[in-house]
């Protein structure tokens, strides 16, 4: 890709960001990052751009290494360079999250809404309906790039092409996306939206759940992380209470972000809520240190506002904040604690894994751990057996 062509790709990504109404901070990072990329390529004598050059640029110019990113700015830079590679390979960038401005094309809309209504009738909760919609929207973005705007014009080659388009996702994510396509195409054939059943052309992407060892930190590591939080200021009080809820009770970041006053029963010292991910209720004991941290925040840290949420943003507009914000500051504390390792997760979910690991070490029965973590199936919790290193060592035969 010559300089003229990389500039064309940069311009295409800039228009995509503008049409998607991305935040001004993202647009700013885009301009600064791409200007430095062009200077980097000139200095290195690169006439072609590819993913390897993009990663080389991020490492040399910003010390960014995939898998060890803790700041929001570096994450934005990494995603922008990745999208340049996606435009180079596919002509359009992929999107990981819901695009608020995306509208399902007319040729797909009736079938899509009918399919989603059918899935609701089957008992799929609304949160999972949104995920299915996201997977289908990615499929439609690819189809539109191939000039396919009607359900009836979809062919097997388009499904195979889409599988290549999502190659950058994990096998687990690709399997979930292809399952959505497989079910959708089967539904379209049965209900007259497509003359042929193309569902067999959406393959199963094989992956082994149990081969993915969850990331976990020792109790000493978690205590080291907590000790770094400055509890003398309001934000520190909030972050400390949030991390305790995750590390001590095993709550998901989304449930902590959405935690409301009514979810805490102070008289019985319990936290009761409906899990955002599963839609299932859960009730846990409010441990003393967790309760004291929440009280400290409510009395001396939480800004005054009308939000029913326990934890709120401290910068205007003051109110409820996204679970992604929890990921950012947890990753930051893990980095400051010197706990970052290549290939090891460093978000709030790793603290849930750490709790599961500690409970296993203390010989807590698996069904009890499942109840604490809010898993409907103990098979899900069984994945955590792979991080009980001490028990695995005890099973080893002497050499």
103-127 confidence digits (pLDDT tens): 889 999 999 999 999 999 988 888 8
Give the chain's mean pLDDT: 84
Strand locations in the chain (E): 264-265, 270-274, 281-285
- Catalytic residue, chosen from 270, 277, 322, 391, is 277
For residue 231, the model assigns a pLDDT of 94
Task: Kindly tell me the burial class for residue 79, based on how many C-beta atoms sit within 10 Å of its own C-beta (0-12, 13-18, 19 or more).
Answer: middle
pLDDT tens, position by position, 248-302 = 998 999 999 999 999 999 999 999 999 887 788 999 999 999 999 999 999 999 9
The residue that leads in pLDDT, 187 or 368, is 187
Confidence band (pLDDT; 50, 70, 90) for 385?
low
Is 79 catalytic? The answer is no
> What does the alpha-carbon distance between residue 248 and residue 354 come to, in Å, rounded to a whole number?
9
Q: What is the mean pLDDT of residues 68-97?
A: 77
Is 384 catalytic? The answer is yes
For residue 257, the model assigns a pLDDT of 92
DSSP state of 206: -
Output phi, psi for 218, to 5 deg: -70, 165
Is 78 catalytic? The answer is no
Q: Within 13 Å, how many C-alpha atoms sit on residue 121's CB side? A: 6
Confidence band (pLDDT; 50, 70, 90) for 76?
confident
Least confident of 57-66, 69-78, 302-311: 69-78
Global confidence as pTM: 0.59
- Catalytic residue, chosen from 82, 158, 248, 252, is 252
Percent of the chain with pLDDT over 70: 86
Least confident of 33-37, 138-142, 206-210: 206-210
Percent of the chain with pLDDT over 90: 39
Is the per-residue pLDDT at 211 higher than 50? no
For residue 175, the model assigns a pLDDT of 92
Is 375 catalytic? The answer is yes
Identify whether 372 is preceded by a cis peptide bond (ω within 30 of 0): no
What residues contact residue 163 under an 8 Å CB cut-off, 6+ apart?
174, 178, 202, 203, 205
Q: Are 174 and 200 in contact (CB under 8 A)?
A: no
Is 252 catalytic? The answer is yes
- Catalytic residue, chosen from 352, 353, 391, 393, is 352
| Residue 271: strand pairing partners | 264, 284
Residue in 203, 182, 204 with CA at minimum distance from that of residue 194: 182
Give the pairing type, strands 281-285 and 270-274. antiparallel
Q: Is 86 helix (H, G, I), strand (E, B) or coil?
A: helix
Tokens of 35: 């200007």
> What does the alpha-carbon distance between residue 202 and residue 204 come to, in Å, rounded to a whole number?
7
Is 8 catalytic? The answer is no
What residues contact residue 41 under an 8 Å CB cut-off, 6+ apart?
3, 6, 47, 49, 53, 57
- Catalytic residue, chosen from 36, 176, 344, 349, is 349
For residue 1, the model assigns a pLDDT of 41
């Amino acid at each position: 890709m010559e300089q003229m062509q990389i500039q064309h790709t940069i311009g295409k990504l800039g228009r995509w960001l503008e049409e998607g109404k991305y935040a001004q901070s993202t647009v700013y990072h885009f301009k600064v990052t791409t200007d430095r990329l062009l200077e980097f390529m000139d200095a290195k004598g690169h006439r072609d751009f590819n993913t390897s050059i993009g990663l080389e640029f991020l490492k040399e110019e910003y010390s960014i290494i995939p898998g060890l990113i803790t700041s929001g700015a570096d994450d934005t830079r990494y995603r922008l360079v990745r999208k340049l590679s996606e435009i180079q390979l596919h002509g359009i960038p992929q999107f990981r999250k819901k695009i608020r401005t995306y509208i399902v094309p007319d040729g797909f809309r009736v079938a899509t809404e009918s399919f989603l209504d059918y899935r609701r009738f089957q008992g799929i909760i609304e949160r999972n309906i949104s995920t299915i919609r996201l997977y289908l929207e990615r499929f439609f973005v690819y189809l539109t790039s191939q000039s396919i705007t009607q359900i009836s014009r979809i062919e097997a080659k388009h499904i195979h092409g889409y599988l290549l388009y999502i190659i950058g996702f994990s096998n687990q994510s690709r399997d979930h996306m292809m399952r959505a396509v497989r079910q959708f195409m089967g539904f379209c054939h049965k209900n007259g939206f497509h003359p042929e059943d193309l569902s067999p052309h959406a393959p199963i992407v094989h992956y082994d759940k149990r081969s993915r060892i969850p990331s976990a930190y020792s109790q000493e590591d978690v205590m080291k992380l907590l000790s770094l939080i400055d509890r003398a200021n309001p934000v520190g009080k909030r972050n400390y209470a949030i991390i305790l809820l995750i590390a001590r009770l095993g709550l998901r970041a989304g449930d902590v972000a959405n935690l409301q006053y009514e979810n805490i029963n102070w008289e019985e010292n319990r936290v009761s809520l409906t899990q955002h991910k599963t839609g299932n209720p859960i009730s846990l004991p409010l441990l003393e240190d967790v309760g004291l941290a929440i009280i400290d925040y409510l009395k001396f840290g939480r800004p005054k506002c009308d939000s029913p949420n326990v934890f709120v943003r401290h910068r205007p507009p003051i109110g409820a904040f996204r679970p992604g914000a929890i990921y950012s500051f947890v990753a930051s504390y893990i980095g400051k604690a010197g706990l970052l390792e290549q290939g090891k997760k460093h978000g709030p979910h790793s603290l849930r894994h750490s709790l599961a690991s500690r409970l296993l070490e203390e010989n807590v029965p698996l069904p009890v751990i499942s109840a604490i973590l809010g898993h409907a199936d103990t098979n899900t919790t069984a994945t955590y057996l792979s991080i009980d290193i001490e028990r695995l060592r005890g099973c080893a035969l002497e050499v």
